[in-house]
Amino acid sequence: MPDNLVIVESPAKAKTIEKFLGEDYKVMSSYGHIRDLHKKDFSIDIEDGFKPIYEIPEDKADIVKSLKTAAKKAKTVWLASDEDREGEAIAWHLFEVLNLKPENTKRIVFHEITKTAILEAIDNPRDIDINLVDAQQARRVLDRIVGFELSPVLWKKIKPSLSAGRVQSVAVRLIAEREKEIKNFKSEPYYRITAQMNATGTEASVTAELNKRLSSRDQAQDFLEHCKTAEFKVSDITVKPVKKTPAPPFTTSTLQQEASRKLGFSVSQTMRVAQSLYESGHITYMRTDSVNLSALAMGTIKKEINDNIGANYYKGRRYHTTSKGAQEAHEAIRPTFISNHDISGSSQEKKLYNLIWKRTIASQMADAELERTTIDIAVSHRQEMFVATGETVKFDGFLKVYMEGSDDENVTDDIVILPTLSKNQEMTANEVVATQRFTQQPVRYTEASLVRRLEELGIGRPSTYAPTISTIQAREYVQKGENKGEKREYEILTLKKGKITNRKKSETVGAEKGKLIPTDIGMVVNDFLMKYFPSIMDYNFTARVESTFDEIAAGKERWNDDISKFYKDFHPTIESVASLRLDHKVGERVLGNDPKTGKPVSVKIGRYGPLVQLGSSDDKEKPRFASLLKDQSVASLTLDEALKLFDLPRDLGEIDGETVTVAVGRFGPYVKHGKKFVSIPKDIAPLEITLEQAAELFAAKEQADAQKVIKTFAEEPELQVLNGRFGPYISYNKQNYKIPRKIDASAITLEECKAIIEAGPAPKAAKRARATKK
């Protein structure tokens, strides 16, 4: 055993670091945290200063055992987990659980995995920073208190299995409030006037736009009538130099936003790929809110620009972090070696690396120099004027390498070049067009724009953005929506050769893809929390908590004191709301009465999702229930739409003498034929499905089932060899056993199956009972 044991949190990181250290160093991985609060228990001793009660998870027992064995044999143990608060906590847990001694334990940190950085860290070890550990513990304890005390209230008042969280609930609030803005938005029509003009007697042509929107068709018609006889003259020409400055190097949030815009990556995908790049030694640490670059990095970037782009393209810049509470790391995300223009790896890794490389290089390049020309064209006897704007690139600067993306779908990078004109020059309007346009509703959040908004509000930190967005989607409070939009007619009035013509065109509006939309459950939970727990949902509160964590990390606050202050206000509110008696279930809407029976019809959140209820629990006859369809909402469902849902189940006809029925169940709409059940795809409406379509679904299911079963044995009917998403496996007595790759599943024998079952893992023990909270 080597004298030195280095412990990191990931095997990929261990593999890279091991290349840089000699034979006297053994590098092992802890595979993340080796202990945590128990998943099912409260695990916080309130009476003992909110002390966390940690446990080693079952799946980490073997890892801890092997680390303990290695640590006992080593003369020095180096704790080399990441340099943020989470990494510091991992190092502290390792120190505690492995029973390490201060005299032979050293903490090292680095923000890039290169030989130079690792050796420098070895030369400059430090102690574990208990203030950073306390800040991480404070976050963990506070989030556990909020989740464990608030979630049962949601189970009782709305439906089981819901959860609430300090940051996730505020993120849902942002999305829910944006949805309400969209629902309340009323689009207003207006007319945009453009003209294609020539300088009289020349071929010099410009396209100009009127500097005022006209609010009605009559105004647009009147203006075009006036243009029939109007004179047009250049009233002013302004030429201004314009400079464009490069964006700073990437932080976690800006990388997530730009990877979404330019590469179409989700936030979690970006972090997964960036983690891989970091652990392979290609980029610096990917959880950071700093835009700073080291002096060494700036020197290598300068050389790269001077040697390969041109000395006139270099301009050294020092950037300063402006985000609230920046604290996570000391340098921006950049390539570890600027000279590496490309890397080996997956296509996603190559694309993200290329984005990081270009952004880093561009941040140290000269401004782009442009010349912006604005030409004002007066219309005789009118106050309005036409304006033409164009740009000429005098020096491309950083644009030679990189241009930052935009979330505004109307922004383009097109540069318009105008002809040379002179003041008072007369213009001829070849064509004047009045196009009907409509004011646009607020834009739904994408994952990237939500990250930007959370950062602006000071909510969360680089390490929390991706998990928060993943959690609210996994909990089904929010989903990525795909809206095909709807057709809308608009009018175009055109003046050409003295005649005004009118034509109508249609366009698709409201089409969206990948935008975050709150579900019915998300809206109901948000409204409930806003009404009864406004302080938890307050943006300022969440941001203040982050600031408190920063103070704890700096050693200026005791973490237990801050948690205690919060709990004194929070716990009584929980008890008060939990004991409230409500007239209706939270989120329930009474839509009216059924014209046939006179019974009340209501819509609400049921145990398995949104549903309609016909009748009340007080009636002698049991109420009837029907699930909402995919595109229906608790907030907007009408009485007529609700009553139509009771048309299901309905019979479609017969196949082979047996009735085919369409219905809606716990997992959505389905068709039934005898003992066969098949889910109805999203693109087929359950109320409109035909017998022919149902027959096609049954045929497709039979084909899929036939391909799933690889082999059965008459002497052991409970045993099947099946095809699964991860390859062939054995199903026996409701337990699954993976078939090794070296065995041909189609030729496997019963004896081989039994051997695999005997050698397979034992069934898991029953879950331990939930401990009672003090």
Active-site annotation, residues? 285
Q: How far apart are CA 223 and CA 245, in angstroms?
A: 40
Q: What HEC string does 523-567 produce?
A: HHHHHHHHHHCHHHHCHHHHHHHHHHHHHHHCCCCCHHHHHHHHH
H/E segment holding residue 70: helix 61-73
CB atoms within 10 A of CB 70: 17
Identify the DSSP state of 109. Answer: -
β-pair type (624-627, 609-614): antiparallel
Q: Which residues of 671-701 are buried (b: 16+ CB within 10 A; e: fewer)?
A: bbbeebebebeeebebeebeeeebbebbeeb
Say if CB 573 and CB 150 are below 8 A apart.
no
Phi/psi of residue 534, each to 5°?
A: -60, -30
Single-letter residue type at 76:
T
Cα–chain center distance at 414: 29
Single-letter residue type at 365:
M
Residue 414 token pair: 């097109």
H/E segment holding residue 570: helix 559-578
Query: Residue 236 half-sphere exposure, CB side, CA atoms within 13 Å?
Result: 8
By the 10 Å C-beta count (0-12 exposed, 13-18 middle, 19+ buried), 576 is classed as: exposed
SS3 32: coil
Single-letter residue type at 411:
V
Q: How far apart are CA 452 and CA 252, in angstroms?
A: 10
